[in-house]
Structure 1
Amino acid sequence: MSHLYRHLRIHQIFGANTDVGKTVIAAALVRASTLTNHNTFYLKPVSTGPPQHADDVHVERYAGPHRHLLNTQCLFRYEDPVSPHLAVRMASQRSGVESSAPSDETFVNAVAEHIRACARTGKPGHMYVETAGGVHSPTLSGTTQLESYRPLFLPTVLVGDSKLGGISSTISSYESLVLRGYIVDAILLFRDDYYRNYEYLSPYFAERGVHVTSLHPPPPLQGNVNEDISATEAYYANLAPRSLDGEIFHALRHLNECHAHRIKELDSMPRRTLDSIWWPFVQHGLVKSEKDVTVIDSAWADFFSVYDSSSEPSTCSLLAPKLDGSASWWTQAVGHAHPSLALAAANAAGRYGHVMFPNATHLPALKLAERLVHEGPGVGWASRAFFTDNGSTGMEVALKMALRSFSINEKELTPRDKKDLWIVGLKGSYHGDTIGAMDATEEGVYTCEWHQSKGFWFEPPTVAIKNGNFVVSVPSPISPSTSSVHFDDLHSVYDIENRLHSPLADIYRTHVRNTLQALRRKGERKLAALVLEPIVMGAGGMIFVDPLFQRVLVDAVRDKSLFENPLPVIFDEVFVGLYRLGMKSFGPLLGVNPDIAVYAKILTGGVLPLSVTLASERVFQAFNSPSKVDALLHGHSYTAHAVGCQVANTTLDMIEMLSQQDPWRLAREKWSCGARRESAVVWSFWDPGFVRSVSRLAVVHEAMTLGTVLVIKFKDDGAGKVLPSLRALSCRKQLLGYASHTAQSLLRSIESPVCESGALSAAPGGAPFGIHYRTLGNVAYFMTSLNTPLQTIEEIENRLWKTLSATHVN
């Protein structure tokens, strides 16, 4: 991942095109650095062409009088003067031994390890990493340089193009770097007195706060080699004189200032944060010091790059990779900063910005609505898509839809009655933090003073793996005599059609029917809708609900012997939908469709907030009339913002491609899904053997997994046995549920990176990584993206196993 050192200032040199003078400018910077008595490192990761003309040879030859301070290196060298991806292929053909090009991972790890080796020398100084060709020139694997180098996130010097067409290529290259998140500290280019591109580019970039330095161009080729060398040496001596004066030294000082400013700002961020920011879901009274603030400098794939001002030893990078173990609150689909999503956002921002949506349309919103209704989770039941800002507001409008579609058929309801309508739901549910969404949940830790619970909540039976067995646990209010039912495998639990004929289904039906009839007899409130988080209730504690119970609930509220007008059913799939749990949606698994469903989180790949509420035609018609006041008078300033819709379409395209690729197929095979019809497939990216083994550990009450999600619930009785790792806490009496610190305390060690026996637990770039995770009381959960590499998941499993298997209960 990212590299940042106090003692070693590093810049990567990109070119706006081939033959723009990257190596000449790199050599000038190197010479200037050595003249200021700084140890200087020059790295040319890939070199193509005759070795005697290689860039590292040129830089070393003209390093000047202090060349003893210079260290040069080339990692991958090929003789053919062509693009690196072709040079690899031609070298393989020439050798007669067919071999594949080094992967992006191999390439970036080699670069990263060399940077670390230079830093480990402990010598204060400067380092320059020179790329090959233009910003989009391919690397060894064929991936463009912008993507290949991005995990390293090195501050950048862009060498502009001083030739014909160079204005366009320089601006385009700069924008390509910015779109991928690079920090461009300076643009350097030659002063060509004919085209004079520098005259245009200097003020252009000055307006954007980017430093530009123009330099005299190198001399033309002379008559022979000796004359060339002599003229070139004179050029560098003039460009970087011993007096330490001139444009190259101004550029050098600017690069040094950028480096110092970045570290100074990162150093100051924890204090500034504590002075200015009010975090969500954080008790500030428990934040003891600035060390409790996680400073994220950048992110890439599944990792944050986290700043640590006290990194030891002092030669270590100030930035360390941390795996984003909660998928950034369940939003990540294809990892952080994916170029395809960044480009989609930029394209829509450039084409539309934000435009008014009522009585209007635009292509990103229309395409997204059509695919969700006609191809996605709405297939077979939905007819309309309504856009909102996030999951909570999506649920607000879903509740409005449901209550109207119910009350329009209840002719005897008075205006007062309509304000007292109740919903039916489950204990532990959570639908967001807005007031209406809170009213649709039971009183709990997430609700507030103004909140009024408006419903009845069933205590749900749950699914988990306990001591290696698949178990449905049944609460005593449902059945005093049946506390649990065991199943052979995961598929048996989720085979709803077969389970509908089981004795447990009859127990559920009796309990649900009797409860609903009792509520109706009381007559205090009118039940108007059923609201469910299918399969898993997320914020309530990652509760895996028995899907059979949810199916029975849906059947009951649509039973005309119970309700003259069936209750509309809302599926809150903000968390679980769009393959977070391995399926697009859960209507096909449950065997019933909702009337309304809400999607967010994964929808935009973790880039932007956006939610879509799907509704059936019956629900839509409840608002359709000649009167304006009957319309759904609900909306947001940024309704269907084009940027979010464009990113969502791109995300869904990428997910569909991922669903057909080998990693998903292999994961399904591990869970023995190959022979089952697609609509019934339940599976996980997490290894089945690992999950069952974890469930047998002494400190673990139960574990469970589906799709990207792994959940571990720890034993914590609140007053009895105290885990050894908790004894240091001032309050030994642990609280159950959300207030418990058990999970956080047990897993604290995995936050730090480990490196044992020479084997690295590596993030991109080969660095050992820590794991950033979130807990819900005595429940820990871990979540991957939909394209997290298998080796990363295996490493998390290994770390968890080592930590938890070494913990015992007295």
Structure 2
Amino acid sequence: MAYPGGLWTKLLALQVYGANTGVGKTVASTILLKHFMQKGIHKPQWKDNVDSEWRVNYIKPVSTGKLDDADERYVGKYARCRTSTLVQYDDPLSPHVAAVNAKRIVYNDVILSQLTRKLSEQPRSLAQNTWGVTLVETAGGVMSPGPSGTPQADIFRPLRLPVILVGDHRLGGIASTISAFESLTIRGYDVDAVIIFEANKNLGNFAYLEQQFARFEIKTFELPWIPDLENCTPEEEGKLMKAYYEGVSKDLKVGRIAQHLLSKRQGRVANIKTLADRTKKAIWHPFTQHQTSTEDVLVFDSAYKDFFQVKHTPATKGFGKSEVQTPILGPMFDGSASWWTQGLGHGNPMLSLNAAYAAGRYGHVMFAGATHKPALELAERLMKQLENPRMKKVFYTDDGSTAVEVGLKMALRAACKRYGWEGSTEPVGVIGLKGSYHGDTIGAMDASEPSVYNKNVDWYRGRGYWFDYPQVKLRKGTWIVEPPADMADQAKQEFENLNDVFNFKARGKASHYEEYITKTLDTLVKEQGRKFGALIMEPVILGAGGMIFVDPLFQQTLVKVIRNYDFGPTPKTADEHAWTGLPVVFDEVFTGLYRLGRASAASFLQIFPDISIHAKLLTGGILPLSATLASQSIFEAFLGDSKAEALLHGHSYTAHPIGCHVAITSLKMMRANSQKPHWKHYQDRWTPRNGDAQPIQVVERDERENSAATDPLAPPPVWSMWTKKTVDYLSHLPQVDHVVALGSVLAIALRDAEGSGYTSNAAAGLRDKLLATGNMGFGIHSRVLGNVIYLMAGINSRPATLEAVERALKKNL
């Protein structure tokens, strides 16, 4: 579900949280609401209109206990404003217990949907000179569970309403108030004000909390103590409280609170409205030609799960039908997975909490000649989870591009040392694939053919040879393997379903690929005398090159030929996993860690690399961290008597413990999520039925690969998180050349009469259309690679969300 971001043109909506039960949340809410009910008491800060009035609302999302004692009735009685309760349970217990007792568990999205509808109704009902104030009061403390058992701070986080935190005035209240604040802060809430009731001055709660929260530039306010109602009759209590609210609501202290809340809202709106213009003055954006760019700067206020909360602009039209109804913020599906980093969802509280823990425990510590628990445990977990028996060592860097450079250093040194080459004085290149790209640092750029990304970089040299290859495409409902021009003598192959493309046993021997690769190597190595130190490629899909789906049988064959080719004398070794031919480097920065549905994309090729590179999803998208994994034989290439023979590479934040600790959490969560029901649902939709295809069988592997204890009896099925029906439909559209779908990735190549490639504008129009929300209630943010538009899901993405995105795709295409 998508939610509007808690900021409307004519509505001040605030959420009231308590540091604990019994701290006076309802009393504080009543005081503020009654204050705003007084005519002429305040002029709305965002409109200069003397005759304006307030429309005041109170919402209790979840309430427990008898209806006669409900907070909604109490507030209505004394504040005289509109009130409502969304979910009511009779038992005066924690909501998760009351829900079980009532046999009526109301789930989070239901509560959020009802709350969003209530909040959105108010701006639509306001007259021209009327503005709204709504307080949303939670039940219990910040982390008290809702009906589903989810803490309320997590239930209401998608709306991210500004918070009034009612502190605890009692003994021990300092600790509970600060703990509540920290729980909200970790989840990305803005605490606009802290309110605490006057109590025993000897406890010093207010004075201490005022000082503590001032460090965070948060104001703390004190309210007059609630009258003593002990031994009062209901009539006496009513009179006392009526007099209390009448007096306190007009108190200057309450006026200052109200003005502060209005001022905070005004500041937030002003900041959001000016961010784009200020950005144009100060920021140099990546991948942008600033002289000709006409794109609006998209302003993000926050992000949660699959969605951004973005400032409404003409490009994102559809958040509301008029200026009065329009939310200032609206939801937008993160269709690029934030440059491929997102898998576990934005604002994930588990990742945030673990990052805070590691920051508090370590900060950062240097790593040369040292160790710490997160770095070691992450290395051990990575090697186990990737199930590559060759991997014995892990080297940490900061991002995918630098991890590639480390992998290239490893491979080139190992090859040069074995074959007696001097790479510093004679040219030693790499073997790769056309259209591949391995990063923006200068060394990684040299491992790719000339392209729009690198050929204008003045130090670029392009050191290598790049094979052309057959591509996998879905065209008009049929999966095809289309040979390149270099293989013009090969016929196009057709397959009934995607699983058949990966059924290497059924496809038979790839002798035509072997002959093509061997002949090319003979020309390069034997005839031209060229030297190569590595094979580097992205397994299965080339990301930045345009979401190109390479025939996996070709990639498997390329690795086998490279490993068996005679590049020079190879010493005998007892290590069955030692590299042969050339070191094989798999760049899984994009394709790895469940992006394509598996822990390692290498499993699709049923072959193991000697060096494996991972980043992007490694930390769940909240911190930069990368890992280059290597075999023992690669590691031993750097052993020697002098330090100069070592791998002299590193940076200040190598193996930073915050990133490593978060990555451990991320890997655990990714593995657990891949086994949840929604993933099985995705897989079942792509499983061939009724004899559609023969069961997939394991290909015959060479002796070295067959020795791995981790080899399954049969490879798992190949599937996509995007529905088979929609993918097939898109492939039939006349403006679509072909479609690619695997795991979380969906790529659509549009026809362009002027040619395909990164400089094509064929997909730009579709990208701009998807930004508008239409009838979905949210927009779709996507990136284009020339004539290719692609979308990515997260590991936690739910079918209903993706199906809504699919409907938008079909409508706009």
Please report the TM-score for the alignment, with normalisation by the length of structure 1.
0.91
> How far has the Cα of 1:397 moved from its partner?
0.3
Range that drifts further, 44-53 or 169-178: 44-53
Which of 516, 520, 544 in structure 2 is aligned with 1:511? 516
Task: State the alpha-carbon separation in 1 of the partners of residues 10 and 759 from structure 2.
Answer: 43
1:745 and 2:752 equivalent? Answer: no
> How far has the Cα of 1:80 moved from its partner?
1.8
1:125 and 2:161 equivalent? Answer: no
SS in 1 for 2:640: coil
- Give the RMSD, CA atoms, in angstroms: 1.6
Partner of 1:83: 94
Say if 2:767 and 2:784, in contact at 8 Å, map to a contact too.
no
> How far has the Cα of 1:262 moved from its partner?
0.3
1:332-351 pair list within 5 angstroms: 332-351=342-361
Partner of 1:731: none
Say if 1:475 and 1:483, in contact at 8 Å, map to a contact too.
no
Using a 3 Å threshold, how does the CA distance of structure 1 residues 356 and 562 change in structure 2: closer, same or farther? closer
Runs of 4+ in 1 over 6 A off after TM superposition: none
Which of 166, 170, 181 in structure 2 is aligned with 1:174? 181
Which of 703, 706, 719 in structure 1 is aligned with 2:742? 706
1:205 and 2:210 equivalent? Answer: no
Task: State the alpha-carbon separation in 2 of the partners of residues 546 and 600 from structure 1.
Answer: 24
Task: State the alpha-carbon separation in 1 of the partners of residues 270 and 555 from structure 2.
Answer: 54
Task: State the alpha-carbon separation in 2 of the partners of residues 497 and 436 from structure 1.
Answer: 38
Say if 1:6 and 1:263, in contact at 8 Å, map to a contact too.
no
Alpha-carbon deviations, 1:364-386, whole Å to 9, x = none?
A: 1111000112x122531100000
Partner of 2:27: 24
Partner of 1:666: 681
Alpha-carbon deviations, 1:135-161, whole Å to 9, x = none?
A: 011112111101111111100000000
Task: State the alpha-carbon separation in 1 of the partners of residues 107 and 292 from structure 2.
Answer: 45
1:58 and 2:92 equivalent? Answer: no
Range that drifts further, 441-450 or 279-288: 279-288
Task: State the alpha-carbon separation in 2 of the partners of residues 178 and 189 from structure 1.
Answer: 19
Task: State the alpha-carbon separation in 1 of the partners of residues 567 and 435 from structure 2.
Answer: 25
Read off the aligned partner of 2:533 and give its amino acid letter.
A
SS in 2 for 1:74: strand
Task: State the alpha-carbon separation in 2 of the partners of residues 60 and 379 from structure 1.
Answer: 64
SS in 1 for 2:111: helix
1:456 and 2:465 equivalent? Answer: yes
Say if 1:385 and 1:615, in contact at 8 Å, map to a contact too.
yes
Partner of 1:286: 292
Say if 2:540 and 2:604, in contact at 8 Å, map to a contact too.
no
Range that drifts further, 225-234 or 143-152: 225-234
Which of 162, 180, 185 in structure 1 is aligned with 2:169? 162
1:528 and 2:533 equivalent? Answer: yes
Q: How many residues align?
A: 753
Task: State the alpha-carbon separation in 1 of the partners of residues 524 and 285 from structure 2.
Answer: 40
SS in 1 for 2:554: helix
Which of 610, 624, 630 in structure 1 is aligned with 2:625? 610
Say if 2:767 and 2:783, in contact at 8 Å, map to a contact too.
no
Partner of 1:758: none
Task: State the alpha-carbon separation in 2 of the partners of residues 746 and 298 from structure 1.
Answer: 25
Which of 549, 556, 567 in structure 2 is aligned with 1:551? 556
Partner of 1:387: 396
> How far has the Cα of 1:670 moved from its partner?
1.7
Task: State the alpha-carbon separation in 2 of the partners of residues 83 and 285 from structure 1.
Answer: 59
> How far has the Cα of 1:415 moved from its partner?
4.2
> How far has the Cα of 1:269 moved from its partner?
0.3
> How far has the Cα of 1:300 moved from its partner?
0.7
Say if 1:556 and 1:562, in contact at 8 Å, map to a contact too.
no
1:627 and 2:642 equivalent? Answer: yes
1:679 and 2:715 equivalent? Answer: yes
Which of 731, 744, 751 in structure 2 is aligned with 1:695? 731
Read off the aligned partner of 1:601 and give its amino acid letter.
K
Task: State the alpha-carbon separation in 1 of the partners of residues 60 and 459 from structure 2.
Answer: 63
SS in 2 for 1:549: helix
Range that drifts further, 166-175 or 205-214: 205-214
SS in 2 for 1:137: coil
Using a 3 Å threshold, how does the CA distance of structure 1 residues 17 and 382 change in structure 2: closer, same or farther? same
Alpha-carbon deviations, 1:669-717, whole Å to 9, x = none?
A: 2221796556343111111222122111111100111100011111112
Partner of 2:254: 248
Which of 433, 447, 463 in structure 1 is aligned with 2:440? 433
> How far has the Cα of 1:483 moved from its partner?
4.3
Amino-acid identity (%): 43
Task: State the alpha-carbon separation in 2 of the partners of residues 551 and 699 from structure 1.
Answer: 33
Alpha-carbon deviations, 1:552-587, whole Å to 9, x = none?
A: 211121114455441111000000001101111133
Which of 265, 276, 279 in structure 1 is aligned with 2:282? 276
Read off the aligned partner of 1:286 and give its amino acid letter.
T
Read off the aligned partner of 1:613 and give its amino acid letter.
T
Partner of 1:184: 191
Read off the aligned partner of 1:179 and give its amino acid letter.
I
Which of 111, 116, 123 in structure 2 is aligned with 1:112? 116
SS in 1 for 2:763: helix
Which of 239, 259, 284 in structure 1 is aligned with 2:265? 259
Q: Tell me, which stretches of 5 or more residues in structure 2 are unaligned?
A: 42-52, 315-319, 571-580, 690-694, 697-712
Task: State the alpha-carbon separation in 2 of the partners of residues 425 and 564 from structure 1.
Answer: 23
Using a 3 Å threshold, how does the CA distance of structure 1 residues 250 and 534 change in structure 2: closer, same or farther? same
Range that drifts further, 111-120 or 74-83: 74-83
Partner of 1:377: 386
> How far has the Cα of 1:87 moved from its partner?
2.0
Partner of 2:753: 717
Range that drifts further, 681-690 or 429-438: 681-690
Task: State the alpha-carbon separation in 2 of the partners of residues 22 and 488 from structure 1.
Answer: 62
SS in 2 for 1:383: strand
Read off the aligned partner of 2:28 and give its amino acid letter.
I
> How far has the Cα of 1:201 moved from its partner?
0.6
Task: State the alpha-carbon separation in 1 of the partners of residues 671 and 178 from structure 2.
Answer: 34
Say if 2:419 and 2:568, in contact at 8 Å, map to a contact too.
no
Say if 2:65 and 2:93, in contact at 8 Å, map to a contact too.
yes
Say if 2:640 and 2:646, in contact at 8 Å, map to a contact too.
yes
Using a 3 Å threshold, how does the CA distance of structure 1 residues 497 and 621 change in structure 2: closer, same or farther? farther
1:141 and 2:148 equivalent? Answer: yes
SS in 1 for 2:386: coil
Say if 1:497 and 1:591, in contact at 8 Å, map to a contact too.
no
Using a 3 Å threshold, how does the CA distance of structure 1 residues 655 and 673 change in structure 2: closer, same or farther? farther
> How far has the Cα of 1:194 moved from its partner?
3.7
Read off the aligned partner of 1:5 and give its amino acid letter.
W
Partner of 1:652: 667
Read off the aligned partner of 1:708 and give its amino acid letter.
S
Say if 1:673 and 1:682, in contact at 8 Å, map to a contact too.
no
Say if 1:557 and 1:563, in contact at 8 Å, map to a contact too.
no
Task: State the alpha-carbon separation in 1 of the partners of residues 147 and 431 from structure 2.
Answer: 58
Q: Tell me, which stretches of 5 or more residues in structure 1 are unaligned?
A: 93-99, 719-734, 756-760, 762-767, 805-810
1:601 and 2:637 equivalent? Answer: no
SS in 2 for 1:424: strand
Partner of 2:13: 10
